């Protein structure tokens, strides 16, 4: 049960649980995967935390999420990291979102299609997503909504 406690706190905890969740993340430092549930929970909590009390934890998590987004060998976890970054650092994250329209994971393309700034290049890529007959239905629908 104790090993599952951080995951329960990630899903249901609050700002008082930040130290436990950060410690759980540190214990994963040598592992290749398994960060997504903990980082999602921390992002949920820290996005709602006001003031400077948790600014250091927030900055640390953003740095870690950026690294995981680029270097994680598990592409299926990228959507989780991207979603967490959108909660914690929307301005910097939205600037790089157009490139995630080209990601191999449908969940990542879906997030990018929903939130990417509509530059000319991004609009072209979103049109391609909308019109691609083998694209995931949710991604095609999100692309069509963005272009409507």
Structure confidence by residue, pLDDT tens digits, 9-24? 999 999 999 999 999 9
Q: How many domains does the chain have?
A: 2
Query: With bands split at pLDDT 50, 70 and 90, how would you rate the model's confidence at 2?
Result: low
Mark residue 30 as left, alpha or beta (left: phi above 0; alpha: psi -120 to 50; beta: remaining).
alpha
Give the contacts of 28 (CB within 8 A, at least 6 positions apart).
34, 35, 38
Could you say which of 42, 63, 88 is where a domain stops?
88
Structural domain boundaries, residue 112 = 94-148
Same domain, 26 and 79: yes
Structure confidence by residue, pLDDT tens digits, 75-127? 999 999 999 999 999 999 999 999 999 999 999 999 999 999 999 999 999 99
Same domain, 72 and 102: no
Same domain, 64 and 129: no
The sign of the dihedral angle between the CA atoms of 55, 58, 60, 63 is: negative
The pTM score is 0.91
Same domain, 17 and 76: yes
Same domain, 101 and 148: yes
Per-residue pLDDT for 49 more than 90? Answer: no
Same domain, 84 and 107: no
For 26, list phi and psi in degrees, rounded to 5. -60, -35
Same domain, 102 and 67: no
Q: Is 52 exposed, middle or buried (0-12, 13-18, 19+ CB in 10 A)?
A: exposed
Same domain, 11 and 67: yes
């Amino acid at each position: 049960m104790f090993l599952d406690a951080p995951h329960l706190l990630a899903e249901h905890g609050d700002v008082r649980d930040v130290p436990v969740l950060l410690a759980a993340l540190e214990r994963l430092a040598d592992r290749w995967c398994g960060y997504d549930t903990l980082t999602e929970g921390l992002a949920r909590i820290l996005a709602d935390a006001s003031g400077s009390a948790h600014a250091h934890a927030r900055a640390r998590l953003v740095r870690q999420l950026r690294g995981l987004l680029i270097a994680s060998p598990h592409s299926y976890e990228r959507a989780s990291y991207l979603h967490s970054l959108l909660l914690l650092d929307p301005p910097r994250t939205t600037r790089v979102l157009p490139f995630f329209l080209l990601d191999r994971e449908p969940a990542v393309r879906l997030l990018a299609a929903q939130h990417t700034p509509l530059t000319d290049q991004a609009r072209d890529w979103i049109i391609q997503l909308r019109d691609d007959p083998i694209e995931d239905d949710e991604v095609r629908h999100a692309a069509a909504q963005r272009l409507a």
